[in-house]
Amino acid sequence: MSTRGSITHGSSFDSHVHIWDPTQFAYPWLAQAAPRLHRTFTLEDAEKATPEHRFVLVQAAHSIAESKWLLGQASTSTRVAGVVGWVDIHGDALLDLAEIDIAPALLGIRVDLRSRHATFTEHNLTPLITELHQRQLTIELLASPTEYSMVAHLADGGTFVVIDHAWHPPPSLEELGEWRAAVRNISAHPQVVLKWSGSWLRHSSRAREAIAGELLEHIGPSRLIYGSDWPVTRLSNKERTWATEVLGDAALETKTCSPLRAYPRLTPVP
């Protein structure tokens, strides 16, 4: 028997699934997205599309209302393992957090470092990081390797840090230098987890192998978690097979044990 926010032995996670409703919430990024994404994606759609036993819903709008909606959706399905929500880091983030951390499904908060204001520094996030640590919540980041110093600062705050989309490695082997350096440097911070999410077919085969090698050697499977990024990415059988082949035995760990480490509120069923 399983409970919300828990898994049983043998269960697998997709740690990065989206649902959204443009009739209720604003998603400015959809204007540049593929036309097929310009519609509502429901929880039922996600359940049908996700082969893993359970999945994590990740915010897609900069909206407290959307985070509350996701938490409400999570309460209706035993397949939803939890929610990564949103708070306004340029406003009263602690008040926002208190407003949405009223449901057991909340696993963490996602912050987009790429869109921060020019005057924003890592010190602005310190009170939020302290509060997340006390609440056993994870901070999830949309970031590029250029934000390494801020990521390292956040990692020193005690809470787990999940970097989405494996820190956005560039598609060609020749451009991986800065990404490689960031991954190797951040490996010294045990609280940092990289999420192996989205499509990798735009990367050359040599780049994919190099990326997987760097992640396995310097981060390790215990600090890698799998996410499909559905429906932004619709993984083909070719992509799923490729990930399993490249990651080998580590592929299973990224879907089972590793999410438990990345999201402290996920605990095994006794």
* Sign (positive or negative) of CA dihedral 141, 143, 145, 150: negative
241 versus 46: the higher-pLDDT residue is 46
Proportion of the chain in helix, strand, coil states, percent, rounded to 5: 45, 20, 40
Asked, as a colleague might, if the bond just before 259 is cis with ω within 30 of 0, I would say no
pLDDT for the residue 241: 67
Residue 152, domain member (yes or no): yes
Residue 104, domain member (yes or no): no
Residue 116, domain member (yes or no): no
Q: Please tell me what DSSP assigns to residue 249.
A: T
Residue 215, domain member (yes or no): yes
Helix, coil or strand: residue 192: strand
Q: Are 83 and 106 in contact (CB under 8 A)?
A: yes
Q: What is the DSSP string of 80-123?
A: EEEEEE---TTS-HHHHHHHHTTSTTEEEEEEEGGG--TT--GG
Percentage of residues of the chain with pLDDT beyond 90: 67
Residue labelled with tokens 């989205």: 198
**86 pLDDT above the threshold of 70:** yes
d(CA 222, CA 193): 8
Structure tokens at 141: 């980041």
Residue 154, domain member (yes or no): yes
Domains in the chain, number: 1
Side-chain half-sphere CA neighbours of 216 within 13 A: 15
Q: Taking the CA atoms of the chain, what radius of gyration do you get in angstroms?
A: 17
pLDDT for the residue 11: 83
pLDDT digits over 100-131, tens only?
999 889 999 999 988 665 456 666 788 999 99
pLDDT digits over 191-237, tens only?
999 998 877 777 888 888 899 999 999 999 999 999 989 999 876 66
pLDDT for the residue 30: 95
pLDDT digits over 138-150, tens only?
999 999 999 898 8
pLDDT for the residue 166: 94
Amino acid at site 152: A
Residue 107, domain member (yes or no): no
Residue labelled with tokens 């890592």: 122
Q: Give residues with Cβ within 8 angstroms of 160, minimum separation 6.
A: 108, 138, 139, 191, 192, 193, 261, 262, 263, 264
Residue 199, domain member (yes or no): yes
What residues make up the domain containing 62?
6-95+122-268
Predicted structure pTM score = 0.92
| 13-17 vs 6-7, strand pairing mode | unpaired
**83 pLDDT above the threshold of 90:** yes
pLDDT digits over 39-82, tens only?
999 999 999 999 999 999 999 999 999 999 999 999 999 999 99
**9 pLDDT above the threshold of 50:** no
Residue 109, domain member (yes or no): no
CATH number at 207 reads 3.20.20.140
**270 pLDDT above the threshold of 60:** no
**1 pLDDT above the threshold of 50:** no
pLDDT for the residue 254: 92
